Amino acid sequence: MFFTKNVLPLSSLNASSCKASGTLDEWLSQWSAKPCTAVRIRQVPQRALKELFFCFYIFIFMADNFLEKRMEQYRAHSSASSNNKSKDSLATLLAKNRSTRGYDASYKVRIDQLRRIVAVNNKLASARNRQPLRFRLVTADEAQKVLPFIRMGAGLKELGLPLAGTEPNAFIVVCSTIEPRNSTYVDLGISVQSMLLQAVEMGLNGLCIMDFDCDRLAGSLQLQYSPLLVVAIGKSAEKIRLVDIKENDDHSYYRENGVHYVPKVVVEDLIIE
Ligand SMILES: Cc1cc2nc3c(=O)[nH]c(=O)nc-3n(C[C@H](O)[C@H](O)[C@H](O)COP(=O)(O)O)c2cc1C
């Protein structure tokens, strides 16, 4: 019982006590015998008082049942919607998390958005919990310090991606405080994928870029640590579709009629005996 449990002690408002006339009579007569400055209770007929209290009890019980039902509906609805949300949200984020090489130039990614994306990193696994990765945030005012040193879409060289006017204007340059070893690259993968999923959740997209001029980028941004990977971030201006393939089919991505197609090996072929 929502109301009686949360607002009124049930023991003080029990319907059976209403019917047990002795109890109520005693209580009423005690109550009406007490001096009252505002109203002369003694002058109110006891029968009218009883009826008034009975109506009050009925009202409380009706309100109680109504609120209880509403609470149950609310709990059922919120648990169902949170289940749905958590069930399809990862699938949706993963599907939307496509490597994007064309961005809406009118959309400038803000520094606070980059900070929010990088903030996922203090919740991630890291080999021996070393946490060697550091992140240099680059917004539109510094984009020219990065753009000349990165290469995008090597699989479609003839297109010269990114197309003029669709270049990314924000980047996260991931650096390592230690000489990279195998586990550093595992940390790197966990970090970058988590950041990209965060970006997608925020309505943005990104691209991992390992094809870049390390020394010139480090010099351009005056980095104190060696850069391992550049993540471009922005508002996508591309149409990208996934295509199922068998493991021995061609894996190359391609474009047709303005749509970028990305072949992905079907799950049955990913699982080995
Ligand atoms: C470690 C890594 C490095 C990558 N480096 C580049 C790169 O330098 N330039 C580029 O255009 N894409 C790069 N990509 C993006 C891949 O080409 C892309 O993941 C692949 O085409 C599949 O597309 P999808 O990410 O939409 O599934 C990189 C991806 C990964 C995981």
Cα angle for residues 160, 118, 120 (degrees, 5° grid) = 125
Distance (angstroms) between ligand 1 centre and the Cα of 249 equals: 19
Considering the entire predicted model, what is its pTM? Answer: 0.73
Task: Note the pLDDT tens digit of each residue in 193-242.
Answer: 999 999 999 999 999 999 999 999 999 999 999 999 999 999 999 999 99
Residues 221, 173: contact at Cβ < 8 Å?
yes
Distance (angstroms) between ligand 1 centre and the Cα of 209 equals: 7
pLDDT at 124 over 60: yes
- Nearest CA residue ID for atom 6, ligand 1: 209
Across the chain, mean pLDDT equals 83
Q: Which of 14-23, 225-234, 259-268 has the weakest average pLDDT?
A: 14-23
Q: Provide the residue ranges of all domains of the chain, joining segments of one domain with +.
A: 2-94, 111-237
pLDDT of residue 3: 37
pLDDT of residue 50: 75
CA–CA gap between residue 57 and residue 59 (Å, rounded): 5
pLDDT at 36 over 50: no
Task: Note the pLDDT tens digit of each residue in 63-82.
Answer: 666 666 565 555 544 443 44
Distance (angstroms) between ligand 1 centre and the Cα of 151 equals: 11
CATH 3.30.499.10 fits 111-237, yes or no: no
